[in-house]
Amino acid sequence: AIGRARGKNAVTGSNDERENTLNQLLTEMDGFQTDTNVIVLAATNRADILDKALLRAGRFDRQIYVDLPDLNEREAIFKVHLKPLKLAPGLDIKFLARQTPGFSGADIANVCNEAALIAARRNKDAVDREDFLSAVDRIVGGLEKRSRIISPEEKRAIAFHEAGHATVSWLTRYAAPLVKVTIVPRGQSLGAAWYLPEERQLTTADQIKDEMCATLGGRAAEQIIFGKISTGALSDLEKVSRQAMAMVTIYGLNEKIGNITYYDSTGQRDYGFTKPYSEKTAQIIDEEISKIVEEQYQRALKILSDNRDKLTRLAEMLLEREVIFKEDLIEIFGPRPFPDVEDGQEAPASDPKAAPSVAQTSEAEQITGDGKTPSASDASDAQVARPAEDSSSDSPSDPSSGQPS
């Protein structure tokens, strides 16, 4: 953090050591103590808050942005890490690349290593597709915890929560297409839904709203079926609040606020005591955020109310099998009613258990009376995956992160 921009409004003396270190770094880079054949390299995840003096010619004047690998790059990375492994015949590397959106090179290396360990535990002679899918599930969602004690009432609530997510995402145009839903506890979550998000460069308001609607589907399902809601939707509420905040205050996607952004690209607002807008505007922002979230919640309620019988059938299937796949949704709902929307997946495998697995998790956390929920690792954000679940809260391309692209 020594390269952070110096603030005009910072309290005197509050950052003396950091600023002295920065000044000395600038002095050394200017060559007051001349060295030959010396190249200075640095890395940061927040180039937007670096002091401008660091980026002037003669200092860090060449900037290389290292993004997360795209589909073709992930395929190339897989080829490198798969070389030492004995693979099952016919393993499709491009298929593996499609199941890992948002994964870094290190994540992919971890997947390959974990898949080899899983194959060894299963006494297999070669690593096959099922092992890789299990490895991705384990890395994103954590270890299965079938021994965790869950009451029948809680299990039923979790099943309808996850079925609500799956139903709304299936019936909204831009929500990420479902791959798998489970109520088997993994990590610190009691249930999860895996999606395969589209790797977008730009996101529209309709796309964000569809994602929000699908995220609120779990809470809406609880309201419709049980007539009450639980604390299990905490991460869902956090996600949609962040997305709505970004729409209103950052991306200029709200008519009432207009074509204005309050995004702070300098990072100096942390040191300020005032907001960049008036109290009246702050009130409008609060109202618009609440309005957007409530509109999508009501939309989710309508979708689920109109398809209550199918929602119930899906939840009952989930309670019976504990894991359901895309093919099961097709059996209940029919094909997605948006044939023009590409979901990026391969044709369904003959064995539904070999269906694609993971990209982004939607958690139903432990339902407790104190309102506290254990935080499960992101898929997303894990981010993994772009989230919308916050794969990385600093990712500028993620509308849920509150940062512009």
pLDDT at 268: 58
pLDDT at 216 over 80: yes
Q: Check: CB of residue 307 under 8 Å from CB of residue 171.
A: yes
Cα–Cα separations (whole angstroms), residue 63 to 41, 47, 53, 56, 107: 10, 9, 14, 11, 24
Q: Please tell me the least confidently modeled range out of 89-98, 196-205, 215-224, 311-320.
A: 196-205
Cα–Cα separations (whole angstroms), residue 189 to 140, 166, 196, 351: 11, 17, 19, 27
Q: Check: CB of residue 3 under 8 Å from CB of residue 50.
A: yes
* DSSP code at position 229: -
Mean pLDDT to the nearest integer, 356-374: 35
198-210 residue pLDDT tens: 777 788 999 999 9
Which residue segments constitute the domains of the chain, with CATH numbers given? 1-66 (3.40.50.300), 71-141 (1.10.8.60), 152-265+276-401 (1.20.58.760)
The tokens 């957007």 sit on which residue? 292
* Structure token pair of residue 12: 């005197």
pLDDT at 347 over 60: no
130-143 residue pLDDT tens: 899 889 888 887 77
- Name the percent of the chain lying above pLDDT 90: 41
CA distance 4 to 49: 6
57-77 residue pLDDT tens: 878 888 888 888 988 999 999
pLDDT at 238 over 80: yes
Q: Please tell me the least confidently modeled range out of 100-104, 262-266, 310-314.
A: 262-266
pLDDT at 249 over 60: yes
Mean pLDDT to the nearest integer, 34-39: 69
- Name the percent of the chain lying above pLDDT 70: 76
Buried b (16+ CB within 10 A) or exposed e, 13-31: eebeeebeebeebbeebee
Given 114, 130, 162, 365, the catalytic residue: 162
Task: Let me know if 198 is a catalytic residue.
Answer: no
pLDDT at 84 over 90: yes
Q: Which residues contact 217 (CB under 8 A, 6 or more apart)?
A: 164, 165, 166, 167, 168, 169, 300, 303, 304
Phi first, then psi: give them for residue 202, nearest 5 degrees. -130, 150
Reported confidence tier of residue 6, pLDDT bands at 50, 70, 90: confident
Q: Check: CB of residue 186 under 8 Å from CB of residue 88.
A: no
CA distance 328 to 180: 9
Return the higher-pLDDT residue of 54 and 61. Answer: 54
pLDDT at 163: 93
- Calculate the CA 49 to chain-centre distance: 23
